[in-house]
């Protein structure tokens, strides 16, 4: 009887514990449901915004890299054509990418200078050669000088921009030399020395070497006229009428030495 009573009491206590646990779990579930209804959507929205922002950033970075690669390919293709106008378009269209603005201007100016040096127009190719007229030469030099000047104007005085700026200064010096303006060329080379002596002393030394050899350009080179060339080609050389036969002379010397 005592054992039976004791067992009944234990069963009641166990049942009470189970009921208490069920009530606790029910309360937790209700609190979680309440949280989901009140604050859950806000947190879910924040998480979705973060994920969307991350995906947008990844897509933006990929498109930015693709755009950058596209611009450099366009620059290479423009440089391959050798036409200054193509490089000028690159400088204007992709001025926001790396140093393509300055590089495009330099390539365009160099294209004009190559034509001046070769004495042929930009339209010349392997099949057609058009001699550069004096008027076209002056125009090309003016265009090249203006493009080099634009490169110099973009100088931000940083070490990274030194090479571009010095290239522009050297370009303007070359234009001045082509015009026979030695004093202006000297000033541009002095600017190169001042701009590059701290970061790139080798460039400064090169500019000084060019200054030292500028006097050679002052000397006028007189070319013979067409008539003088023709007369020289038609000249008849006067030869010594006395025959010379080295073979016979050598045999004579041998025979005399044998005696």
CA nearest 206: which of 219, 217, 183, 190?
Answer: 190
Whole-number pLDDT of residue 103: 92
The CA-based angle 145-106-63, given to 5 degrees, is 145
The mean of the pLDDT values for the chain is 79
In which region does residue 17 sit, left (phi positive, over 0), alpha (psi from -120 to 50) or beta (all else)?
alpha
Fold for the domain defined by 155-216 = Methane Monooxygenase Hydroxylase; Chain G, domain 1 (1.20.58)
212-249 pLDDT, tens digit each: 988 877 666 666 777 777 777 777 655 655 555 555 55
Distance CA 147, CA 110 (A): 9
Rounded to whole angstroms, the Cα distance separating 256 from 249 reads 11
Tell me how far the alpha carbon of residue 111 is from its chain's centroid.
15
Q: Supply the pLDDT for residue 175.
A: 95
Upper half-sphere CA count for residue 147 (Cβ side, 13 Å): 30
**Per DSSP, what are the bridge partners of residue 131?**
120
User: What is the reported pTM?
Assistant: 0.64
Q: What is the pLDDT of residues 193-214, one digit of tens each?
A: 999 999 999 999 999 999 998 8
**DSSP calls for 88-142:** HHHHHHTTTSTTHHHHHHHHHHHHHHHHHHHTB-TT--SS---BPPHHHHHHHHH
- Whole-angstrom Cα distance, residue 28 to residue 5? 35
**Alpha carbons 129 and 241: distance in angstroms, whole number:** 48
Q: For residues 187 and 69, which has the higher predicted lDDT (pLDDT)? A: 187
Q: Where are the domains of the chain?
A: 21-147, 155-216
pLDDT by residue (tens digit) across 109-142?
999 999 999 888 888 777 778 888 999 999 999 9
Number of residues in the chain: 259
Residues pairing with 120 in the sheet:
131
- Residue 229's contacts (CB-CB under 8 Å, 6 or more residues apart) are none
71 contacts 100 by C-beta, under 8 angstroms = yes
How far is the C-alpha of 82 from the C-alpha of 107, rounded, in Å? 8
Question: Does position 100 have pLDDT exceeding 80, yes or no?
Answer: yes
pLDDT digits (tens, 9 = 90+) for 8-37: 555 555 555 555 555 455 555 666 566 666
Alpha-carbon span 125 to 113, nearest angstrom? 16
């Amino acid at each position: 009887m005592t054992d039976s009573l004791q067992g009944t009491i234990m069963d009641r206590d166990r049942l009470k514990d189970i009921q208490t646990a069920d009530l606790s779990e029910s309360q937790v579930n209700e609190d979680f449901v309440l949280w989901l209804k009140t604050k859950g959507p806000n947190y879910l929205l924040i998480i979705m915004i973060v994920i969307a922002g991350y995906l947008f950033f990844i897509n933006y970075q990929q498109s930015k890299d693709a755009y950058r690669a596209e611009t450099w390919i366009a620059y290479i293709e423009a440089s391959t054509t050798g036409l200054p106008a193509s490089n000028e378009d690159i400088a204007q269209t992709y001025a926001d990418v790396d140093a393509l603005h300055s590089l495009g201007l330099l390539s365009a100016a160099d294209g004009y200078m190559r034509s001046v040096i070769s004495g042929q127009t930009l339209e010349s190719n392997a099949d057609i050669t058009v001699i550069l007229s004096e008027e076209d030469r002056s125009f090309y030099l003016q265009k090249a000088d203006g493009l080099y000047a634009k490169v110099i104007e973009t100088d931000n005085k940083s070490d990274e921009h030194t090479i571009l700026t010095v290239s522009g200064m050297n370009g303007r010096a070359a234009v001045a030399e082509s015009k026979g303006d030695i004093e202006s060329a000297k000033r541009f080379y002095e600017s190169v020395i001042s701009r590059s002596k701290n970061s790139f002393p080798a460039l400064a030394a090169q500019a000084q070497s060019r200054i030292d050899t500028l006097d050679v350009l002052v000397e006028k080179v007189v070319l013979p006229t067409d008539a003088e060339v023709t007369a020289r080609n038609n000249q008849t050389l006067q030869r010594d009428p006395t025959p010379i036969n080295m073979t016979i002379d050598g045999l004579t010397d041998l025979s005399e030495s044998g005696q």
